[in-house]
Structure 1
Amino acid sequence: MKVLVVGGGGREHALVWKLAQSHQVSRLYAAPGNAGISRHAECLPLAATDIDGLLAFAVENAVDLTVVGPETPLIAGIVDAFEQKGLRIFGPAREPALLEGSKGYAKGLMLRSGIPTAAYAVFSSYEAARYYARNQFAAAPGQPLVVKADGEAAGKGVIICRTEAEAEAALSLMMRDRAFGESGARVVIEEFLEGQEASLMAFTDGTTLVPMIPVQDHKRVGDDDTGPNTGGMGCYAPVPLVTPELYARAVDEILRPAVEAVRETGIPYKGVLYAGIMITPDGSLKTLEFNCRFGDPETQAILPLLETDLVDILLGVTDAHLDEVAVKWRPQSAVCVVLASGGYPGPYPQGVPIDGLEQVAHLSDVGVFHAGTALNDAGQTITAGGRVLGVTGLGDDFAQARARAYAAVKNIHFDGMHYRTDIGAKNVRL
């Protein structure tokens, strides 16, 4: 089987790494891939957003399965384009992908379907949004608001505002300065929720829903959840807070109603449905967001724990027989630590040589997934993005998994490298 993976980040490296273990895969391609992916797959000079180029390649090379990593091509309709040519592709079509492509659309679907979420309002006018925020702070002094860009913003379009001035600055940044382009032309203003966050992902063929192991992501750039939001600085799985009983509730209250609501539109949701949830102090569940793809870096923690052949699951989704696939997981823990470029999530240098990868390449129970990397003319691995590497440690418990991840991190170096030192730490203290 020939498989094409679309994307070039840490999530896609984890997908390629897992697919390379399947006896069903005879040829692996990645577009555009990265330095780490090139060890497992043929990397193509095609951008993940070049739908026409990707489609032409898949047709000419008789690709049997295309797996889409990032959200941008999904929202742009890559699945629709491939399916019109009779090609098998993993991911939701353009309309279902609006669950991530528009926060306003997603909130409306939640409201109509009775899916629990924060109170909200949607605005296309800066003045109207500012007026609303001012009134909210006047009505509930000291209660923060959350301002979100309506469209995709690489995980950075969410700003928690604790004062009216902060809310005005956030609205100006998104709606006037267009810091996130057209994604910020419309905004969602939400009530601020207290509690613990978790990422719940599930495979679905539009009818059957197969939950993955729960993950907790660390969005803030600094230890103890300080500093600005990022695409994710690390994660761990499973999440002790998410008991089997609580997860069953989340499936019944959030994931399944979303899949059913999309199916009622006439286009089934097929792919990965990712729900970011908040577990409030009183034990209730609230939906923070939906994503239409594998999480990043969550995938780098989850796939090493997957026992089942990933190809079987992907085909179960694309061919609508997921109910026939027995999905099994290893009873272990995983901790993924992201190594970022100096300056990230702001401006950062590129082309910085990375040392120490050889020392960690053969460590047992450690996986190093490349995100923003490339090869220079001399064949040396260099930085090529904000999030550079994801180092995942596995263990029989969190202490062991965490120790293995950070021991590997100590062997890797590039100028400006920074990372959080507290990924999964609270679970070790339990």
Structure 2
Amino acid sequence: MKVLVIGGGGREHAIVWKLSQSPKVTQIYCAPGNPGIAELAECVSIAVSDIKKLADFAQKEQIDLTFVGPEEPLSLGIVNYFKEQGLAVYGPSKEASLIEGSKAFAKELMMKYQIPTAKYSSFTNYEDALSFVRGEGAPIVIKADGLAAGKGVVVAKTLEEAEEALQSMMQEVSFGSAGARVVIEEFLEGEELTLLAFVNRTTVKAMVPAQDHKQVNDGDKGPNTGGMGTYAPLPHIDPSMIERIINEIVKPTAKAMVEEGCPYEGILYTGLMLTKSGPKVIEYNARFGDPETQVVLPLLETDLLEILIASLSGELENVEVKWKDKSAVCVIMSSAGYPGPYEKGQVIKGLEHITYPTIAFHAGTTAKDGEILTNGGRVLGITAIGDHLKEARDLAYQSVEKVSFIGVHYRTDIGSKAFR
């Protein structure tokens, strides 16, 4: 089969890497891809938002299956358009993608179907939002309703931070139209985890749980990022808790989407907080998480392509999704200044020293004159696989030491919560 993967980050590198291991795959294309992906696939310079051009390419090259990585094309309706053109495509429809594309839609769905989540209110008027926040006090969570590339969430520890967030989103329009409506939530305390699942209507096949590290600095300090590292599975979380999440949250969510007339078909990401009163949903994403994908897919034993094909033909429930009895840790190496303004174009050295069971997933890189340069805030995801978490963690950090570029920054405590 010829496969097209849409996207060009670390998540897509992990997807391409996994698909390349399938004996059924003869050729992989990736649009737009990156230098790491280029070692496994033919990169095509088409923007992820240029849906017509992507569909034309898929027609011309007789692509058998297209996998959509990022949220933007999903929200723009790429799946609907591809299907209209008679093209096989994996991912949720434009309507189903609203579960990520609108925080208010997701919250209303959870309230209606009694799926546990934080209490909330949503606002389109700045003054109303401001007076609500002043009435509630801090800590409090402010979210831009629309897509903000994983950055439209502020966990405000003080009233001043909350007011600044509202000012930024609603007055200064820092996230464009995404912040025209804001969702304001109660602050949930506890431990975060992510549960990804292959979903086809009411069939749910959960993946191994992972834990992301959102803040830029050690000890969960500093501003939120798209994710600074992750590990899977979570040895310190009881398997009964994961079963509870599947039965009380993920399956009811899939059922709710069918009831609402927008059945979910694709990867469903559920971000959760384990509170004293049980697990609660923080957010949904309509796709693989980044960097969770970089630890979850290396642990998948079943052929990813087999799962996708079964899902598209309505046979997902008949597939046994198997996982390796191993652990994986991913450490993100970022540019100086990220998640604020950062420099690009620094030469990356030492990538040739990374060998399996460690993989360097490229997130924000570019190639020039035979060298790999930094080209994003999150530059690389160094993932290591081990027989247990400590081994995977040690391997990941040993490999991080072998790679360098000017201004490199990374957290040194990825996975340490499991050992507390």
Q: TM (normalized to structure 1)?
A: 0.96
Question: How far apart in 1 are the matches of 2:417 and 2:123?
Answer: 38
Question: How far apart in 2 are the matches of 1:75 and 1:243?
Answer: 35
Shifted more, 317-326 versus 46-55: the winner is: 317-326
Question: How far apart in 1 are the matches of 2:77 and 2:381?
Answer: 29
The CA deviation at 1:165 is 2.0
- Secondary structure of 2:380's counterpart equals strand
Deviations 1:332-366 (A, max 9, x none): 11110000011110111111110000111xx2311
Q: Equivalences for 1:7-406 in 2 at 5 Å?
A: 7-137=7-137, 143-282=138-277, 284-360=278-354, 363-376=355-368, 378-406=369-397
Question: How far apart in 2 are the matches of 1:346 and 1:274?
Answer: 26
The CA deviation at 1:253 is 1.2
The one-letter code sitting in structure 2 at the alignment partner of 1:8 is G
Question: How far apart in 2 are the matches of 1:18 and 1:66?
Answer: 14
Question: How far apart in 2 are the matches of 1:119 and 1:47?
Answer: 38
Question: How far apart in 1 are the matches of 2:72 and 2:351?
Answer: 30
Question: How far apart in 2 are the matches of 1:267 and 1:167?
Answer: 34
- Secondary structure of 2:248's counterpart equals helix
- Secondary structure of 2:55's counterpart equals helix
Alignment check: 8 A CA contact 1:354 1:383 kept = yes
Counterpart position of 1:140? none
Question: How far apart in 1 are the matches of 2:405 and 2:22?
Answer: 33
Shifted more, 156-165 versus 266-275: the winner is: 156-165
Which residues of structure 2 form unaligned runs of 5+? none
Alignment check: 8 A CA contact 1:202 1:210 kept = yes
The one-letter code sitting in structure 2 at the alignment partner of 1:4 is L
- Secondary structure of 1:24's counterpart equals coil
The CA deviation at 1:162 is 2.6
Deviations 1:150-180 (A, max 9, x none): 0111221111123322211110010011111
Alignment check: 8 A CA contact 1:173 1:179 kept = yes
Alignment check: 8 A CA contact 1:205 1:316 kept = no
- Secondary structure of 1:224's counterpart equals helix
Question: How far apart in 2 are the matches of 1:9 and 1:23?
Answer: 24
Q: TM (normalized to structure 2)?
A: 0.98
The one-letter code sitting in structure 1 at the alignment partner of 2:326 is Q
- Secondary structure of 1:410's counterpart equals helix
Counterpart position of 2:399? 408
The CA deviation at 1:267 is 3.1
The CA deviation at 1:380 is 1.0
The one-letter code sitting in structure 2 at the alignment partner of 1:293 is R
The CA deviation at 1:426 is 2.9
What count of residue pairs does the alignment treat as equivalent? Answer: 420
The CA deviation at 1:99 is 0.4
- Secondary structure of 1:320's counterpart equals coil
The CA deviation at 1:265 is 2.5
Question: How far apart in 1 are the matches of 2:314 and 2:290?
Answer: 25
The CA deviation at 1:379 is 2.0
Shifted more, 171-180 versus 158-167: the winner is: 158-167
Question: How far apart in 1 are the matches of 2:301 and 2:238?
Answer: 21
Alignment RMSD: 1.0
Question: How far apart in 2 are the matches of 1:241 and 1:76?
Answer: 39
Deviations 1:34-71 (A, max 9, x none): 00000000000101111111011011111100001100
Question: How far apart in 1 are the matches of 2:236 and 2:356?
Answer: 28
Deviations 1:294-345 (A, max 9, x none): 0000000011101110000111222211012111100011110000011110
The CA deviation at 1:372 is 0.4
Question: How far apart in 1 are the matches of 2:382 and 2:86?
Answer: 38
Alignment check: 8 A CA contact 1:214 1:242 kept = no
Question: How far apart in 1 are the matches of 2:237 and 2:200?
Answer: 24
The one-letter code sitting in structure 2 at the alignment partner of 1:235 is T
1:426 aligns with 2:417: yes
Alignment check: 8 A CA contact 1:218 1:235 kept = yes
The CA deviation at 1:390 is 0.3
* Identity of matched residues, %: 53
